[in-house]
Amino acid sequence: MLRRRPQPRFSRLAAVVFTLAMAGVAALLVVPLVPSGAALREGESAPQTIQAAHGAQYESTELTEQARADAARAVPLSYLPPDPAVKQAQLVSFDRLVERVRIIRQRADLPATEQRLAELNAYFAAEKLQPASSLGPSLLLLDPAAFDAVALKSRNALRDIMDAELHTEDGAQAKIDEYLKKEPAAGTAAELAARTALTGLITLFVAPNSPVNDAATERARQEARDNVSPVIVTYTRGQVVVREGERLQPEDIEALHRTGVIDDGFNVADDAAGAAMSLGFAIFLGIFLYQFQPFERPAARRALLVGLAIAGVLVAVRFVLPEVLPDREGRYLAFAVPVAAAAMVTASFAGLPFAVVTAVAVGIFATFIGITEPGLAGASFSGTTHAHQLAVAYIAGGLAGALSVHRAERLSRYAVSAVAVAFATWSVLSIFWLLDETQTRESFGWLSLAAGINGLGAAVVTVGAHVVLSIPLGVTTRLQLLELAHGGHPLLRRLQEEAPGTYHHSMMVGALAERAANRIGADALAARVGAYYHDIGKLSQPGFYIENMLEGAPSPHDALAPAASAATIREHVTAGVELARKHRLPLLVRDFIPEHHGTRLVTFFYRRAVQAGGDVDPALFRYAGPRPQTKEAAIVMLGDSCEAVVRASGEPGRSRIDETVDGVFAERLAEGQLDECDITMRELQEVAASFKATLKAVYHPRIPYPDPVPAELAEIGQRDRLGRTSPPG
């Protein structure tokens, strides 16, 4: 009999879409979207000492413009003659203030100095004047004659000072100071108050009165600019344009352009190399995906999750490496990036081989990102050894992480993975550190710290991917399976209470499936959990299944026609799927419910119907399927049948168990139930051997115990009498 090739879980179209998506993401990270050298920006520090790519002699636009700007700034400002209107306005404001002070001084309703001062301050605020704090008290405390004298003197001083050209506030203050120097020194308190009032009034109202003559100033500046000759700059090939760490000035950027360091256009060779590397990286992953089918169902969602993890890691590399390279101080910060997380997430949601491939591919591509950044090829590394070190460390960390988290069933495994990644990275860095002639103890400490951060970060990112990505994408994680395997799940508790026979059968099938899956390298946890829930549909009518019927009790099928009984039995599949959906069991677990029967007949009732005579339609007795799509589902189907048949045999001997298991396997193969999964004949032989060993251990013969001897009976009787005569306590 020819077996039909199982349908690939990851179709050719899906592989092409994955390849194109990864190629697009990768290309965005390494193919320049701006001209080469655009990452060198004014105001930033030069990443290294940069030399002229070729000789150049040119008129420096930047330096010429700077020289002309300096010449223009050296030209003094031109001013217009004093504006009489400004002087008149200030005198009017002065007179208004003096009059208000006189009124306040004469108001009988303000006997206290504090009240008058408050009134005066309110006036200052209303007029938007900002006098010195000593002006108000000085004006209020002067006697009337002294006040009038100060007011007159201040007005005359204001008029005289503002007759001159006052260009700026500083110029006005200079004129005030010049005037006050001519005033005699104050001897008495009254003279000091008068001088304070005079100074305050003049300072308050003297203002610039000669505005800038913009037109004349600009003409003079333009003449100065025109008199500056162009600045000619000459560079020879290899001459230093800018040194490492120097802040880039506009003239430096201009020189880098002129000497060929920065290309004004796109570098076709660099773009082609980046595109080819991106496409090769994506095709490598895509071909492996389609050829080896590493994803369980839902394959597309798992592929999306892994693709997001890979893309996220590469994006992080693209943004972090420009900030930490070149590492001339031996800080090893580039090795703290958790690149291993890509391989670890892949190992959690795909096969280990694909995780290994991912570790290598991502490690190489991450290094390629480093050596092509930032538009200066190789600028981040001082030699090829540094690039090799980055690639080997990334790959080693990824391999260690993938191996340590593959099929992890406890959170502690992720802690172990952090140590594994850190140790692998540290080992690689230590080897290269020993080869480096300039190594220091300080740099060794830095590399150890970077390795530790790498390991911890990779573990945290991997756990985060389980939480953040798996739930919205509907991808089942091993942690979810572990939770479902716990006996406290509501469905398992119901099964134990309402259908104890089915519960015991499910536990037995789970034990059979787990051991067999381990033996052939299948997913033992998925097989065990799938077996636990494969018959939950029997909760709808537990009494219709033989394992839940009491011995000697009448069967409800006795009153039903074979077709009706078969329909009832088949209903546990549809009821189970609905119950699993209601309790939000993952698709991975739900698939075991219809697949563990495949498209088989309800054999017992089908044969009874045939024996009863008449035309019998097999479709009425056949499960809807589908047939098992995975090795784990096939193992559960075989384990379900073998356990049921062996248990129905009463107390089978070892040879009888062997015959039963072989018969079940042969029957399923003959029915074609295993044609749609990728289990091999060699693996089936291993599964059969595992079933036989487990079933023989469970259904081994018991040794008959002899009857109790007289001494035992006497002891039992004595204890019984003592128990009856003991007082209640």
Give 488-528 pLDDT, tens digit per residue: 899 999 999 999 999 999 999 999 999 999 999 888 999 99
Indicate the pLDDT class of residue 715, thresholds 50, 70 and 90: confident
Q: pLDDT per residue over 400-427, tens digit each?
A: 999 998 877 677 788 899 999 999 999 9
Whether 408 contacts 478, CB under 8 Å: yes
Structure tokens at 722: 């003592």
Average pLDDT value for residue range 448-477: 87
Tokens 């000669």: give the residue.
210
Q: Pick from 58, 127, 117, 54: which is nearest to 92 by CA?
A: 127
* Residue ranges per structural domain of the chain: 12-24+27-34+266-475, 50-71+227-258, 84-205, 479-698
Tokens 């290094």: give the residue.
367
Same fold, 12-24+27-34+266-475 and 479-698: no
Q: What are phi and psi of 197, to 5 degrees?
A: -65, -40
Distances (CA, A) of 590 to 43, 105, 473, 507, 531: 60, 98, 16, 17, 11
The set of residues, in sequence order, having a beta carbon less than 8 Å from that of 678 and lying 6+ positions away, is 6, 293, 630, 631
The Cα–Cα gap between 366 and 361 comes to: 8
Q: Pick from 608, 623, 615: which is nearest to 671 by CA?
A: 623
The Cα–Cα gap between 388 and 382 comes to: 12
Which stretches of 127-248 are DSSP H helices? 135-141, 144-161, 169-181, 189-205, 214-226
Distances (CA, A) of 237 to 36, 89, 256, 383: 19, 68, 12, 22
* Range scoring the smallest mean pLDDT among 26-40, 118-132, 211-225, 361-375: 26-40
Provide the CATH topology of domain 12-24+27-34+266-475. Answer: Arp2/3 complex 21 kDa subunit ARPC3 (1.10.1760)
Q: pLDDT per residue over 626-657, tens digit each?
A: 999 999 999 999 999 999 999 887 666 777 89
- Is the domain 479-698 a CATH 1.10.3210 member? yes
The set of residues, in sequence order, having a beta carbon less than 8 Å from that of 61 and lying 6+ positions away, is 254
| Predicted local distance difference test score (pLDDT) of residue 139 | 82
The Cα–Cα gap between 75 and 439 comes to: 57
Average pLDDT value for residue range 353-358: 93
The Cα–Cα gap between 25 and 309 comes to: 12
Q: 10 exposed, middle or buried (CB, 10 Å; 0-12, 13-18, 19+)?
A: buried
Q: How many C-beta neighbours within 10 Å does residue 130 have?
A: 8
Which parts of 222-300 are beta strand (E)? 232-235, 240-242
Which SS3 state, helix, strand or coil, does residue 318 take?
A: helix
Q: What is the dihedral of CA 566, 572, 578, 584, to 10 degrees?
A: -160
Q: pLDDT per residue over 58-100, tens digit each?
A: 999 889 999 899 998 998 988 888 888 888 988 898 888 888 8
Which SS3 state, helix, strand or coil, does residue 57 take?
A: strand
Structure tokens at 456: 């911890």
| Predicted local distance difference test score (pLDDT) of residue 634 | 96
Indicate the pLDDT class of residue 729, thresholds 50, 70 and 90: very low
Please report the sign of the dihedral spanned by the C-alpha atoms of residue 330, residue 336, residue 337, residue 341. Answer: positive
The Cα–Cα gap between 659 and 311 comes to: 53
Average pLDDT over all residues of the chain: 85
Does the pLDDT value for residue 368 go beyond 70?
Answer: yes
